[in-house]
Amino acid sequence: MNNLAEKNNFWWNIDKNKVLWFKARENVVAPFKLEPSITRSIPSVTNGNPLYRNTQIVKGSKGLTETQTETFTADGETRSFTVGFSISEEPTIMIDTGSGWVPQTIGVKGVDSNKDWYYEIGDGTVTQDRDNNILSTTSRIKVEYIGQFTLVAQTHDPDEINRMKQINGTSGIVEEAQSVENVDGKEAALEAGNSKLKEFAQNSKTMSFQTKQAGLQAGQLIETQGYGDFNFNDGEKLLITKVTLFDEDGLLFYSVEAVKGPKYRSWAEFFKELTRKAEIFVQENIGETDVLLVPVNYEKYWVESEDPNIFREVYPSETLYPSEDLYPMFDAQDRVKGIVWLDNGTELGRQEVTQLDGEDTDTIESLFYLGPNSANTTFTHFAFYSGYYGTEQLNTGIVYDERPYPTTKTQFETLQISRTDYKWD
């Protein structure tokens, strides 16, 4: 309910009759204005937003890889081979028994029959039909597929980050992470993150007052008048979040809370507490099969004089010839090919780019997903390679950037490396 309300700028409440109300904030207006003449005494104002954040991390959404190609060598015994990602759609499988690559027929596990190989969406293992001859040690298997993976999306409110930086002299970044379900793709995850920032990247004030006048209900917007001393502008609307009726010496009064900015409602707090208890239970029962997803972010602002340069375009002319110190230009599809992990300059392994956007534009966004079965070793740096001849074979292509990242990765970790390259103006 909170997610739906945030995306649509709605408000929800369960009233005293246990009726659920879910409507736009501006659609329910209080029957009168909040002004000094209707309040019993001076209102109290509380400042602060315990839910404030200006950077939102969204975890749990599903992303799709670029086309992945993985090759295996048979051992004369194994019929099942596991690729690096869960498979999202029917793959292409070919075998080479010494005479070149031969396409294979593909079927769905438990559904199809009389096929050479079987797969299942959401699983990373392809299996050879048991009626076929098992592949010998001189045979190879090539699997081309689109994979799926769990990604982490991150959104920012630059103005709020800068404001907080000026206030406290730090980086200004206030982060909050949240897991989501049934969200597919980076764009949908970013939308979910932006909806959180829209609600919570702002100050919050709560005004509490008492009045004899009836008619106020939780969910109404009440307009303020005459409270400039409390930094409320005339005409500013506050959301009523709580109304309590009480008796004092035979007189009925209403105790009211109204908020400017984000604040969880009482019913939301109730359900949130149940969720928090469930999350604690899960954390206390983490097993060895759980994987920690670690986001890593890089940016590079290119200048034209850099070599090699994935953005610069050069063409032969009467005054320009190929030479040892002149790098060729890259075709758009070859600007970003993959990532390398190194130990003090020695390549230990590499992997093709997982997702790539804007390769033919001035801003290239790339994502590299090193899953539980990838890069499980000790290394000191990441490097990024490009070029027509850049493949998963070590020391191929052209390395265009290197970044320190000393770590020892295990099968209980997944690294999501997001990178943005910007061309000069």
pLDDT digits (tens, 9 = 90+) for 384-397: 999 999 988 999 99
Please report, as a single letter, which amino acid is at residue 227.
Y
pLDDT at 272: 52
Contact (Cβ atoms closer than 8 angstroms) between residue 63 and residue 187: no
Residue 278's pLDDT band (cuts 50, 70, 90): very low
| Strand partners for 293 | 414
In the predicted model, what is the mean pLDDT of residues 219-241? Answer: 87
Q: Is the pLDDT of residue 263 over 70?
A: no
Plot region of 275 (φ>0 → left; ψ -120 to 50 → alpha; else → beta): alpha
Q: Write the DSSP assignment of 23-75 as a string of letters.
A: EEGGG-B-SS-B-GGGBSS--EEEE--TT--SEEEEEEEEEEEEEEEEEEE--
Residue 308 pLDDT greater than 70, yes or no: yes
Residue 265 pLDDT greater than 50, yes or no: no
DSSP 8-class letter at 320: B
Please provide the distance, in angstroms rounded to a whole number, between the alpha carbons at the two ends of the chain. 44
Mean pLDDT calculated for residue range 239-251:
89
List the chain domain ranges.
Answer: 2-58+155-267, 69-142, 292-422
DSSP 3-state of 356: strand
**For 237, how many CA atoms within 13 A lie in the half-sphere containing its CB?**
13
Is residue 227 within 8 Å of 189, Cβ to Cβ? no
Alpha-carbon gap, residue 374 to 354, rounded angstroms: 13
- DSSP class of residue 327 equals P
Beta carbons within 10 angstroms of residue 155's beta carbon: 19
SS3 of the chain: helix, strand, coil, percent, to 5: 15, 45, 40
Confidence bin at 103 (pLDDT 50/70/90):
very high
Report d(CA 5, CA 261) in Å as an integer. Answer: 14
Q: So what's the pLDDT on residue 315? A: 77
Percentage of the chain with pLDDT > 70?
A: 89
CA–CA gap between residue 394 and residue 347 (Å, rounded): 7
pLDDT at position 165 is 86
Q: Which of 379, 372, 378, 376 is nearest to 412 (CA)?
A: 372
| Contact in structure between 408 and 380 (CB atoms under 8 Å) | no
- Using a 10 angstrom Cβ sphere, with 0-12 exposed, 13-18 middle and 19 or more buried, the burial of residue 275 is exposed
pTM for this prediction: 0.55
The token pair that represents 401 in the structure block: 């950037």
pLDDT for 6: 67
| 44 contacts 207 by C-beta, under 8 angstroms | yes
Whether residue 384 contacts residue 334, with contact meaning beta carbons closer than 8 Å, is answered with no
Q: Please, what is the average pLDDT of the chain?
A: 84
